[in-house]
Amino acid sequence: MANMRVLLVDDDADLCTMQAEYLATEGFDADAVFDGEAGVHAALTGSYAAVVLDVMMPRLGGIDALRQIRAQSQVPVIMLTAKGDGIDRIVGLELGADDYIPKPCMPRELVARLRAILRRTQGSDSHTPQHAGPLSLFPEYRRAEWNGVPLELTNSEFQLLEILVSAGGRVLTKNELCERGLGRPHTRYDRSVDVHMSNLRQKLGNYPDGRSPIQTVRGVGYRLAND
Protein backbone atom coordinates (compact mmCIF):
# COMPACT_ATOMS: atom_id res chain seq x y z
CA MET A 1 0.00 0.00 0.00
CA ALA A 2 3.08 2.23 0.09
CA ASN A 3 3.49 5.16 -2.26
CA MET A 4 -0.19 5.39 -3.12
CA ARG A 5 -1.04 8.88 -4.38
CA VAL A 6 -3.85 10.61 -2.54
CA LEU A 7 -5.54 13.90 -3.47
CA LEU A 8 -6.59 16.22 -0.63
CA VAL A 9 -9.25 18.81 -1.57
CA ASP A 10 -9.84 21.34 1.20
CA ASP A 11 -9.68 25.13 1.45
CA ASP A 12 -7.87 24.84 4.80
CA ALA A 13 -4.25 24.91 3.64
CA ASP A 14 -2.83 24.36 7.13
CA LEU A 15 -4.97 21.26 7.61
CA CYS A 16 -3.93 19.91 4.22
CA THR A 17 -0.27 20.42 5.10
CA MET A 18 -0.70 18.57 8.39
CA GLN A 19 -2.57 15.71 6.73
CA ALA A 20 -0.04 15.44 3.89
CA GLU A 21 2.87 15.30 6.33
CA TYR A 22 1.20 12.57 8.37
CA LEU A 23 0.23 10.60 5.27
CA ALA A 24 3.86 10.73 4.10
CA THR A 25 4.96 9.02 7.33
CA GLU A 26 2.44 6.25 6.56
CA GLY A 27 3.68 5.60 3.02
CA PHE A 28 1.31 7.80 1.02
CA ASP A 29 2.17 10.56 -1.45
CA ALA A 30 -0.39 13.33 -0.93
CA ASP A 31 -1.07 16.34 -3.13
CA ALA A 32 -3.40 19.15 -2.06
CA VAL A 33 -5.64 21.59 -3.91
CA PHE A 34 -7.72 24.22 -2.18
CA ASP A 35 -11.00 24.55 -4.06
CA GLY A 36 -13.59 22.28 -5.61
CA GLU A 37 -12.90 23.18 -9.23
CA ALA A 38 -9.21 22.35 -8.92
CA GLY A 39 -10.19 19.19 -7.05
CA VAL A 40 -12.43 17.98 -9.87
CA HIS A 41 -9.75 18.67 -12.48
CA ALA A 42 -7.06 16.84 -10.48
CA ALA A 43 -9.32 13.90 -9.56
CA LEU A 44 -10.17 13.30 -13.22
CA THR A 45 -6.53 13.06 -14.31
CA GLY A 46 -6.44 9.42 -13.18
CA SER A 47 -3.30 10.07 -11.15
CA TYR A 48 -4.74 9.30 -7.72
CA ALA A 49 -5.71 6.11 -5.91
CA ALA A 50 -8.18 8.01 -3.71
CA VAL A 51 -9.59 11.50 -3.09
CA VAL A 52 -10.31 13.12 0.28
CA LEU A 53 -12.91 15.82 -0.37
CA ASP A 54 -14.15 18.45 2.06
CA VAL A 55 -17.85 19.35 1.85
CA MET A 56 -17.58 23.04 2.79
CA MET A 57 -15.49 24.98 0.26
CA PRO A 58 -15.91 28.30 -1.56
CA ARG A 59 -16.84 28.55 -5.27
CA LEU A 60 -17.56 24.86 -5.86
CA GLY A 61 -18.55 22.91 -2.75
CA GLY A 62 -17.67 19.30 -2.06
CA ILE A 63 -21.11 17.92 -2.94
CA ASP A 64 -21.08 19.56 -6.39
CA ALA A 65 -17.46 18.54 -6.89
CA LEU A 66 -18.37 14.93 -6.07
CA ARG A 67 -21.24 15.06 -8.56
CA GLN A 68 -18.86 16.18 -11.31
CA ILE A 69 -16.25 13.56 -10.39
CA ARG A 70 -18.82 10.76 -10.39
CA ALA A 71 -20.08 11.78 -13.81
CA GLN A 72 -16.73 10.66 -15.24
CA SER A 73 -14.83 8.57 -12.69
CA GLN A 74 -15.24 5.91 -10.01
CA VAL A 75 -12.08 6.91 -8.12
CA PRO A 76 -12.63 6.22 -4.39
CA VAL A 77 -13.80 9.36 -2.57
CA ILE A 78 -13.89 9.99 1.17
CA MET A 79 -15.96 13.02 2.19
CA LEU A 80 -15.02 15.23 5.14
CA THR A 81 -18.24 16.51 6.71
CA ALA A 82 -19.05 18.85 9.59
CA LYS A 83 -19.49 16.91 12.82
CA GLY A 84 -23.15 16.08 13.34
CA ASP A 85 -24.22 17.11 9.83
CA GLY A 86 -26.00 13.93 8.79
CA ILE A 87 -27.62 15.51 5.73
CA ASP A 88 -24.28 16.14 4.00
CA ARG A 89 -23.20 12.58 4.75
CA ILE A 90 -26.35 11.03 3.31
CA VAL A 91 -26.32 13.26 0.23
CA GLY A 92 -22.65 12.46 -0.34
CA LEU A 93 -23.26 8.72 -0.10
CA GLU A 94 -26.27 8.97 -2.38
CA LEU A 95 -24.12 10.73 -4.99
CA GLY A 96 -21.49 8.01 -4.82
CA ALA A 97 -19.04 8.81 -2.03
CA ASP A 98 -17.35 5.66 -0.73
CA ASP A 99 -17.13 6.81 2.87
CA TYR A 100 -17.18 9.89 5.08
CA ILE A 101 -15.33 11.18 8.12
CA PRO A 102 -16.70 13.88 10.44
CA LYS A 103 -14.40 16.89 10.98
CA PRO A 104 -12.26 17.45 12.85
CA CYS A 105 -10.77 14.02 12.21
CA MET A 106 -7.66 12.38 13.57
CA PRO A 107 -4.99 11.79 10.91
CA ARG A 108 -4.75 8.20 12.13
CA GLU A 109 -8.43 7.65 11.33
CA LEU A 110 -7.98 9.11 7.85
CA VAL A 111 -5.12 6.68 7.19
CA ALA A 112 -7.20 3.76 8.45
CA ARG A 113 -10.12 4.67 6.18
CA LEU A 114 -7.83 5.13 3.18
CA ARG A 115 -6.18 1.77 3.74
CA ALA A 116 -9.55 0.06 4.12
CA ILE A 117 -10.80 1.51 0.83
CA LEU A 118 -7.58 0.70 -1.04
CA ARG A 119 -7.59 -2.87 0.28
CA ARG A 120 -11.11 -3.28 -1.08
CA THR A 121 -10.45 -1.67 -4.45
CA GLN A 122 -6.98 -3.02 -5.18
CA GLY A 123 -6.53 -6.07 -3.03
CA SER A 124 -8.88 -8.50 -4.78
CA ASP A 125 -7.01 -11.46 -6.27
CA SER A 126 -10.08 -13.40 -7.37
CA HIS A 127 -10.28 -14.22 -11.07
CA THR A 128 -13.51 -16.20 -10.85
CA PRO A 129 -16.74 -14.48 -11.96
CA GLN A 130 -19.64 -14.73 -9.53
CA HIS A 131 -23.22 -15.16 -10.67
CA ALA A 132 -26.58 -14.79 -8.93
CA GLY A 133 -29.45 -15.00 -11.40
CA PRO A 134 -29.13 -12.10 -13.86
CA LEU A 135 -26.34 -10.55 -11.77
CA SER A 136 -22.71 -11.21 -12.71
CA LEU A 137 -19.65 -9.94 -10.84
CA PHE A 138 -16.10 -9.89 -12.16
CA PRO A 139 -13.94 -9.15 -9.09
CA GLU A 140 -10.67 -9.01 -11.02
CA TYR A 141 -11.98 -6.03 -12.99
CA ARG A 142 -14.31 -4.62 -10.30
CA ARG A 143 -17.12 -4.92 -12.86
CA ALA A 144 -20.76 -5.89 -12.45
CA GLU A 145 -23.48 -6.66 -14.98
CA TRP A 146 -27.25 -7.14 -14.79
CA ASN A 147 -28.57 -9.26 -17.66
CA GLY A 148 -25.33 -8.51 -19.48
CA VAL A 149 -25.66 -4.74 -19.10
CA PRO A 150 -22.75 -3.07 -17.21
CA LEU A 151 -23.62 -1.36 -13.94
CA GLU A 152 -22.02 1.92 -12.85
CA LEU A 153 -21.13 1.11 -9.23
CA THR A 154 -18.91 2.89 -6.76
CA ASN A 155 -16.18 0.84 -5.13
CA SER A 156 -18.14 0.54 -1.90
CA GLU A 157 -21.29 -0.51 -3.75
CA PHE A 158 -19.36 -3.19 -5.62
CA GLN A 159 -17.80 -4.46 -2.40
CA LEU A 160 -21.14 -4.69 -0.59
CA LEU A 161 -22.76 -6.41 -3.57
CA GLU A 162 -19.90 -8.91 -3.75
CA ILE A 163 -20.36 -9.72 -0.06
CA LEU A 164 -24.10 -10.28 -0.55
CA VAL A 165 -23.51 -12.57 -3.53
CA SER A 166 -20.89 -14.57 -1.62
CA ALA A 167 -23.32 -15.06 1.26
CA GLY A 168 -25.56 -17.16 -1.01
CA GLY A 169 -28.85 -15.78 0.27
CA ARG A 170 -27.83 -15.69 3.95
CA VAL A 171 -28.94 -12.63 5.89
CA LEU A 172 -26.04 -10.32 6.72
CA THR A 173 -26.25 -7.87 9.60
CA LYS A 174 -25.47 -4.20 9.12
CA ASN A 175 -22.43 -4.66 11.31
CA GLU A 176 -21.12 -7.48 9.08
CA LEU A 177 -21.70 -5.40 5.97
CA CYS A 178 -20.12 -2.30 7.48
CA GLU A 179 -17.03 -4.12 8.77
CA ARG A 180 -16.44 -6.24 5.67
CA GLY A 181 -17.67 -3.77 3.07
CA LEU A 182 -16.64 -0.39 4.48
CA GLY A 183 -13.78 -1.42 6.74
CA ARG A 184 -15.21 -0.11 10.01
CA PRO A 185 -17.70 -1.10 12.72
CA HIS A 186 -21.33 -0.08 12.37
CA THR A 187 -22.49 2.51 14.89
CA ARG A 188 -25.98 3.22 16.14
CA TYR A 189 -26.76 6.24 13.97
CA ASP A 190 -24.66 5.27 10.96
CA ARG A 191 -26.86 5.04 7.84
CA SER A 192 -24.06 4.38 5.36
CA VAL A 193 -25.05 0.77 4.67
CA ASP A 194 -28.72 1.73 4.25
CA VAL A 195 -27.86 4.46 1.75
CA HIS A 196 -25.54 2.20 -0.24
CA MET A 197 -28.24 -0.50 -0.35
CA SER A 198 -30.80 2.05 -1.54
CA ASN A 199 -28.40 3.10 -4.30
CA LEU A 200 -27.87 -0.52 -5.31
CA ARG A 201 -31.61 -1.13 -5.52
CA GLN A 202 -31.94 1.81 -7.89
CA LYS A 203 -29.08 0.59 -10.09
CA LEU A 204 -30.02 -3.08 -10.21
CA GLY A 205 -33.00 -4.36 -12.13
CA ASN A 206 -35.93 -6.23 -10.64
CA TYR A 207 -36.82 -9.87 -11.00
CA PRO A 208 -39.73 -10.70 -13.34
CA ASP A 209 -42.16 -10.67 -10.41
CA GLY A 210 -41.14 -7.11 -9.52
CA ARG A 211 -39.04 -7.96 -6.46
CA SER A 212 -35.73 -6.25 -5.83
CA PRO A 213 -32.82 -8.67 -5.52
CA ILE A 214 -31.79 -6.88 -2.33
CA GLN A 215 -34.20 -7.58 0.50
CA THR A 216 -34.36 -5.88 3.87
CA VAL A 217 -34.74 -8.18 6.86
CA ARG A 218 -36.23 -5.82 9.41
CA GLY A 219 -34.19 -5.48 12.57
CA VAL A 220 -31.37 -7.63 11.21
CA GLY A 221 -29.88 -6.52 7.90
CA TYR A 222 -29.96 -7.44 4.21
CA ARG A 223 -29.87 -10.48 1.96
CA LEU A 224 -29.65 -11.16 -1.76
CA ALA A 225 -32.89 -12.86 -2.80
CA ASN A 226 -32.98 -15.68 -5.31
CA ASP A 227 -34.76 -14.96 -8.56
Same structural domain, 117 and 10:
yes
Q: Give 10-residue mean pLDDT values along the chain (227 residues).
A: 81 94 93 96 95 92 96 94 80 92 89 87 66 88 90 92 91 93 87 95 90 93 88
| Residues 72 and 115 grouped into a single domain | yes
Last residue of a domain, one of 94, 122, 150: 122
CATH assignment at residue 219:
1.10.10.10
Q: Are residues 93 and 148 in the same domain?
A: no
- What's the rounded Cα separation, in Å, for the pair 5 and 75? 12
CA distance 165 to 174: 15
0.85 cut: is pTM over it? no
143: containing domain: 130-224
Please tell me the total count of domains within the chain.
Answer: 2
pLDDT score for 86: 78
Say if residue 95 is in the same domain as residue 139: no
The answer on 95 and 36 residing in a single domain is yes
19 and 87 part of one domain: yes
